[in-house]
Structures are given as C-alpha cells and as structure tokens.
C-alpha cells in the first residue's frame, strides 16, 4: 500500500480504502510506503514531521501496517497547474528545497525502496500458511 502526503495529509481515497478493507488487511502481511517530500530532507525536524504525520494517519484509520517505509517522492513542477506550482515553490523555498519550476526533481531512494520490497517479499515467502486476501482465490505468495 502506498500513499503520498500533501499538506500534511494522505489522500482521502486512501483513507477510505483502508477503512473499508481494514479487517482483511489486518489478517495478511502488509507494507506501507509513506511518500513525502519531507522524507527527502535529512534533518531531525523533518524526520519528526514525517513520523507525526504517519502516526496521526495510522490513528485516524485505525490500522497499523506490518511494516512501514517513509520515503521521498518527486517534486513535479512541470506537471502542476500555475497556482499549485507557485504554492509548492513557496513551501519548498521555506523548507530550503528546490525552487526552479522549469524542471522536476526526483528524490526517491530507489535502492532503499528495492531493499524494502525485497525484505517484504522474503517475509511473505517465509509465512507458514497461504495468505488469504481480498477477492476469490487471491494469495499474497502467488503475487511474488
């Protein structure tokens, strides 16, 4: 499961999905990617900000994922509309981030993401019993 943080909140659709499927998700191994530009900043305050946002989100939905990775995403200035681009640029400037709106910035640590996925896949393989999830005939170990 993955969701991005915008203005300190995850998407409403993600919240609705997790609430709707919480009972099923609690019975299977889960991994959650918390994508946030704050995760790109290497400071104690940024780590606290990400931790608080994720903790607030988990409390709000009433579901705790089995494993979690806060990870930086991308700043896609060229994909934003005019007003969004200006607002994001201001926020980025205040945070000491990149502000050239003529280009995009990729902050994702793809090696960390690959390691996280590999470790999660290993945990699924080591699971003692087939994992039943959403839908008829779905098995988490068959998705590997």
Question: Quick check: is 138 in a domain?
Answer: yes
Lowest model confidence (mean pLDDT) among 20-24, 25-29, 40-44, 52-56: 40-44
H/E stretch holding 5: strand 2-6
CA dihedral 15, 23, 32, 18 (to 10 degrees): -10
Report helix, strand and coil shares of the chain as percent, to nearest 5: 50, 15, 35
The Cα-based distances of 45 to 41, 42, 48, 65, 122 in angstroms read 9, 9, 5, 24, 32
Each residue's pLDDT tens digit, 86-137: 999 999 998 889 999 999 999 999 999 999 999 999 988 887 655 554 443 4
Report residue 30's pLDDT band, with 50, 70 and 90 as the boundaries.
very high
State the pLDDT at residue 141. 40
Taking the whole predicted model, whether its pTM rises above 0.85 is answered as no
Residue 32, strand partner residues = 68
Question: Quick check: is 128 in a domain?
Answer: yes
Question: Quick check: is 67 in a domain?
Answer: yes
- Domain encompassing residue 32: 2-73+108-143
How many folded domains does the chain comprise? 1
């Amino acid at each position: 499961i993955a969701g991005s943080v915008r203005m300190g909140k995850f998407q409403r659709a993600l919240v609705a999905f997790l609430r709707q499927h919480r009972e099923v998700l609690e019975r299977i191994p889960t991994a959650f990617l918390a994508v946030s530009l704050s995760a790109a900043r290497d400071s104690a305050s940024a780590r606290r900000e990400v931790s608080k946002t994720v903790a607030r989100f988990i409390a709000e939905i009433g579901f705790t994922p089995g494993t979690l990775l806060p990870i930086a995403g991308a700043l896609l200035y060229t994909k934003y509309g005019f007003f969004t681009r200006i607002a994001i640029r201001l926020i980025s400037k205040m945070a000491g981030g990149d502000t050239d709106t003529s280009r995009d910035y990729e902050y994702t640590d793809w090696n960390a993401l690959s390691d996280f996925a590999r470790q999660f896949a290993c945990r699924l393989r080591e699971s003692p019993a087939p994992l039943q999830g959403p839908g008829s005939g779905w098995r988490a170990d068959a998705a590997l």
